[in-house]
Chain A
């Protein structure tokens, strides 16, 4: 069964430092997508970064990068130069097909709460 595991319920980081949020996934499919979303206390889900299973390069979006290690089935999020506004819950998610249908439903991990200290 497909599964996303985030083993860090909560993390602290000092402002301006880098932080890595861990994510491992389990799938037997060859085609899938990996995502990170940010959920601040206001509740909205903000898309941060995407990595396709066939992408050879690690995805980067500004201060966010995804450390994709396919053999280890890990997709860790690295946030560089943390800012106070980065304090939020972060979710790792995976999308994959279901049978022969073109569905990309997302399966989410339990989330990691990140607190940035001034």
Chain B
């Protein structure tokens, strides 16, 4: 158990819908990272928050947004979903930059 929690574990929805993925980092970790894993793109960095502030952005679509709350949990919002958004979405947390990142169990999103 990495100490990072993600909910829900599975999500099935239809095209055009909006979903919210939730992540709670390990106790004391200020950095939260979101990654997407798909068969064609592999593992890709989406966005990072540090203590409530956006710190870095990767290949994140404009239809996607995220935030980190004062209690340090984070949410990833995916809207106007398309079939191609089906993927495994991971949240990771870290206590030091450039250091180890511990991953949550992931949310498997299926868009039908």
Interface residue ranges, A against B (CB under 8 Å)? 31-33, 35, 37, 43-47, 50, 52, 91, 93, 95-98, 101-108, 110-111
Contacts and interface: CB of A to CB of B under 8 A. Distances in A.
Interface residues of B, number: 28
Most buried by A among B43, B50, B58: B43
B105 interface: yes
Contact of B103 (A33, A47, A110): A47
Interface stretch (B13-21, B77-85, B92-100): B92-100
Given A102-B55, A104-B31, 10 more contacts: A33-B98, A43-B105, A44-B105, A47-B2, A47-B102, A50-B99, A50-B100, A95-B99, A102-B50, A105-B48
B48 A103 contact: yes
A31 B96 CA distance: 13
Interface of B is mostly: strand
Counting from the closest, the 4 A-B pairs by CB-CB distance are A103-B56, A45-B103, A108-B43, A104-B97
Interface of B: 2, 31, 33, 35, 42-45, 48, 50, 55-56, 58, 88, 90, 92, 94, 96-103, 105-106, 108
B91 to A, nearest CB: 10
A52 B90 CA distance: 23
Nearest to A37: B103
A51 B2 CA distance: 19
